[in-house]
Structure 1
Amino acid sequence: MEFVEGWDIVQVLGEGAFGEVKLLVNRKTSEAVAVKLVDLRIHLTAISEIRKEIGIHKLLNHENILKCFGHRKDDKFQYIFLEYAAGGELFDRIEPDIGMDPAQAQRYFQQLIAGMEYLHTRGIAHRDLKPENLLLDANDNLKISDFGFATIFRHKGQERLLDKRCGTLPYIAPEVLVKKYSAQPADIWSCGVILVTLLAGELPWDKPAAKCAEYVDWKEGKDYVSPWRKIDTVALSLLRRMLSPRVDRRYTVSQIKLHPWFLKNFKGAGASRVVHNFEDGASSRKRSCIEIGAAPNRNYMEQFCLSQPEFIRQVTVEPDLPAENQPKPYISCLSQPACLDDILLNSQLSGGTTQTTQNPIQRLVKRMTRFFVETSAEETCNKLKEILNKLSFNYKVNGLEFTVTLHDKRRQRLVFKANVLDMNGSVLVDFRLSTGCGLEFKKYFLDLKQRLKDIIVLGPVSWPLAMASLNKTFCPT
């Protein structure tokens, strides 16, 4: 069943409290857009919240905030059309218990502060800032997403205190748990916790409350314990001011932007961005979509690295110029789909979510939580079942997709999926977080990967063989 004329559902990008986010790709141009589907038959009480989310998100226009292109509704579903963040979730770049390179952490943090500063100048508080709600575009730029808990705290120069207790416990400010609170300091606190996860690869506490020993240690200045001992003194001094329990002493955005760590020039920062190789965990340089588009005779591995569907821009021929000086057609990665009106105005939108032309290359973007195996798809599924049974994990199997449901160390619900993909003889196991903490999910992934190490392909995969049958799908005519 076709979701909308001319567009194909390629994959599920994520899941939230009110529905799924799916990737749509235009069949002719390969332009991409994300669509958030909310089933109004199930979430009857959420209609006002969804309307509020759409109203706030449509007001925003900033390079570090995910764009909202528009929305429409039918009898069954509310559709919200969003910018496709081809780089995936920020948490996927964080190594559990390690974090990431300080230069890269600084870059993401600077972009987070820029986006949050814009929100606050518009009188809007996000109230659920966390790595799972921070996405990356094809050029590795941070995008703040998910405005389900956002609210307007300032209108016509008048500010109001907030009283709704919302957010995710490890990231919320202590005052949110106990009383009315000011919007801006609460968001700044969340940004501070995010910085801890970037630099240390772990959360500092379960929640900022008196009954939490780790939080009490922080208040008492015990910075010789983890995660604080992993963080250098300059960054730690910034965190002390951002994570001050006293709101009146907590840093403002202006003070954060003047801090030495925020302004520090890391040697070699930005020269080249390094990410994990998807199939063997080694490091390799992730090429930007523009670099790849400019390269002649791209091979299959370059197609795999291309994480944003591409669109060939045609140019006008100049009659007065010789052939060698004529402008050349070029490939660009689009954030504003030219064919978006086809979706917003199309009368054939339906609740059907059957995927038509699956593009396996599109399915392989964004995540580091995947690896190739030497076994067949059936043997791999049997091996995965054996391990999950041994661990007493609660799981369901639908074809080649496993859905694992459990509770993490904080007793919070954690749901992730594992897809076994047969790609012309090469089998890939692809893990994706559905619900819960990204860092906890990655810990489970690393454990499962270790238990499957005897079947994991350690050497390079023959991409021409694995992708040959997909090339025609990837390059539509």
Structure 2
Amino acid sequence: MSAEFVEGWSIAQTLGEGTFGEVKLLINRNTNSTVAMKVIDLKNYPDAISMVKKEATIHCRLKHPSIIKYFGQRYSKDNFYIFLEYASGGELFDRIEPDVGMPQSDAQKLFKELIDGVDYLHNNGIAHRDLKPENLLLDEHGNLKISDFGLATMFMCNGKRRKLENSCGTRPYLAPEVLSHCPYQAEPSDLWSCGIILVSMLAGELPWETPSDDEVEYKIWKTTDYANHSPWCKLDTLALSLVRKILIPTPSRRYDISKICSHRWFKKSKSNVDKFNMPKYCDNDFDEARPCYSQPAPAANSYPTVSILPNESEIYSFSQPTQVEDLLLSSQLLSSQPVTTVTNNSIQKLVRRMTRFIVVLSPEEAIAKLSQFLDNLGYTWKINSSSLVTIITADQRLVFKSNIIPMQNQTLIDFRLSRGCGLEFKRHFVAIKNSMSKIISKGPLMWPVAIATNSVPYI
């Protein structure tokens, strides 16, 4: 592990990054407690202070099983720290297989937890405004946790409601009214994002890059021919029925939470939810604009956060598998019981990304081979250090990093999204993994072995 961040606490790894900073995992050497620390770089981005203070002010008010816990903050001259619950199950997008999705029973469970958390936010007058799989984390039991409140705002206070005006969020998940540059109601726009997330879970792809009539896929969604196109042809009758009620362009006609919870797909028992009913039908109580369709695969590569606010235009997902605790402020976390090392069991629950594999090569050979395959696949890349490679897609819309980690006569190659769409990142990971399949170890990935063999690297 690296040097102590504060007495008893060490930075174990970097979990994610955004334009203004990083999210780091911290471990207490005495108690093996784990927390995630969001670090905002005020030295290079001094204007970010107002945004992060707003985020902390909103997040500290929230206490719900489907929302990542807030534990505290710390402010220094060069950095602002937010400490949050650590969600060791990773990000939701990591559980979505590109172009396939996930089992309906899993999608139903997670969607119910998402709606429960969003209902809590709305009842407290808060709009998230950037709901997407990258901002939805999973705990060690696979329960969903809403995270990253960097774009959240209050739309109701002391019984007084206001419409929102700022166009912010991530393009494929934005409701059409958010792009209209006219005041809009908060709740329907968040629920539209929930509908897109449901499509991604069930179909493994996003329906469009932007919900605009300039998009062919979105225009088809508003016709009667949508059911012949992907992703809609992948959804069963009940699921499609619910999605169509959520993705109605007119906000006033869009399903609200009570109607979503009353829908047959939402209420369907787990034992029956994976039974598909084909063919699909079209009911007549849709919107007059008749939304319908999506592209066969997300043209999404890197979807920068959209915003007309200063300093928000370059915000990318900061979350990653984490969120932390006020390790600096909470006496409960600072135990006096001495433990000199972090156990394998405590580490094993920390890092559950599916985007990694082991090669039967030395670290030097592994990085040389990886570089060769990246060249063959048309990526731009650069070696940041002896163990870290930054990879950029040909269209420069997706950035991810690969960490080279020594492991007893083998090498772990770990990939982490830096900027862009999670589903598209998974596609690229699969392409790289397939191209390197002949040198990938077929044995099980035993992450604790890496911990026992080496200090946890900066990933």
- TM class by smaller structure: 0.7 to 0.9
Match of 2:297 in 1: none
Match of 2:248 in 1: 244
67-76 or 357-366: which moved more? 357-366
Aligned residues: 398
Consecutive unaligned residues in structure 1, runs of 5 or more: 271-307, 310-333, 346-355
Q: Deviations over 1:366-400 (max 9, x none)?
A: 20111111222211111111111223322121111
Aligned equivalents of 1:53, 1:263: Cα separation in 2: 34
The 8 Å contact of residues 32 and 342 in structure 2, kept in 1 or not, is answered as no
Matches within 5 A, 1:299-448: 341=330, 361=347, 365-397=351-383, 398-406=385-393, 413-448=397-432
Match of 2:104 in 1: 102
The 8 Å contact of residues 140 and 349 in structure 2, kept in 1 or not, is answered as no
Aligned equivalents of 1:412, 1:343: Cα separation in 2: 45
Aligned equivalents of 1:50, 1:234: Cα separation in 2: 41
Aligned equivalents of 1:364, 1:182: Cα separation in 2: 38
- Paired residue type of 2:241: S
Q: 1:155 to 1:344 in 2, by over 3 A?
A: farther
The 8 Å contact of residues 4 and 343 in structure 1, kept in 2 or not, is answered as no
Q: 1:434 to 1:268 in 2, by over 3 A?
A: same
- Paired residue type of 1:394: T
The correspondence for 1:186, drawn from 189, 194, 200, is 189
With structure 2 as the length reference, what TM-score do the two structures score? 0.81
Aligned equivalents of 1:369, 1:420: Cα separation in 2: 13
Aligned equivalents of 1:267, 1:357: Cα separation in 2: 40
Give the greater-gyration-radius structure (CA). 1
Q: Deviations over 1:298-342 (max 9, x none)?
A: xxxxxxxxxx99xxxxxxxxxxxxxxxxxxxxxxxx986888526
- Paired residue type of 1:190: S
The correspondence for 1:158, drawn from 157, 160, 170, is 160
- Paired residue type of 1:426: Q
Give the superposition deviation at 1:361.
4.5
Q: 1:364 to 1:447 in 2, by over 3 A?
A: farther
The 8 Å contact of residues 11 and 363 in structure 1, kept in 2 or not, is answered as no
121-130 or 219-228: which moved more? 219-228
SS of 1:33's partner is strand
Match of 1:39 in 2: 41
SS of 1:267's partner is helix
Q: Deviations over 1:437-465 (max 9, x none)?
A: 0000000000000110110112446x59x
The 8 Å contact of residues 373 and 427 in structure 1, kept in 2 or not, is answered as yes
- Paired residue type of 1:399: S
Give the superposition deviation at 1:435.
1.3
419-428 or 17-26: which moved more? 419-428
- Paired residue type of 2:382: K
Matches within 5 A, 1:261-272: 261-267=265-271
Following TM superposition, where does structure 1 have runs of at least 4 consecutive aligned residues deviating by more than 4 angstroms?
A: 334-340, 342-345, 356-364, 471-474
The 8 Å contact of residues 173 and 193 in structure 2, kept in 1 or not, is answered as yes
SS of 2:245's partner is helix
The 8 Å contact of residues 173 and 190 in structure 1, kept in 2 or not, is answered as yes
Aligned equivalents of 1:340, 1:425: Cα separation in 2: 42
Consecutive unaligned residues in structure 2, runs of 5 or more: 275-320, 335-340
Q: 1:412 to 1:395 in 2, by over 3 A?
A: closer
Q: 1:46 to 1:441 in 2, by over 3 A?
A: same
The 8 Å contact of residues 424 and 469 in structure 1, kept in 2 or not, is answered as no
Q: Deviations over 1:264-286 (max 9, x none)?
A: 1121889xxxxxxxxxxxxxxxx
Identity %: 52
- Paired residue type of 2:391: V
Match of 1:18 in 2: 20
- Paired residue type of 2:216: A
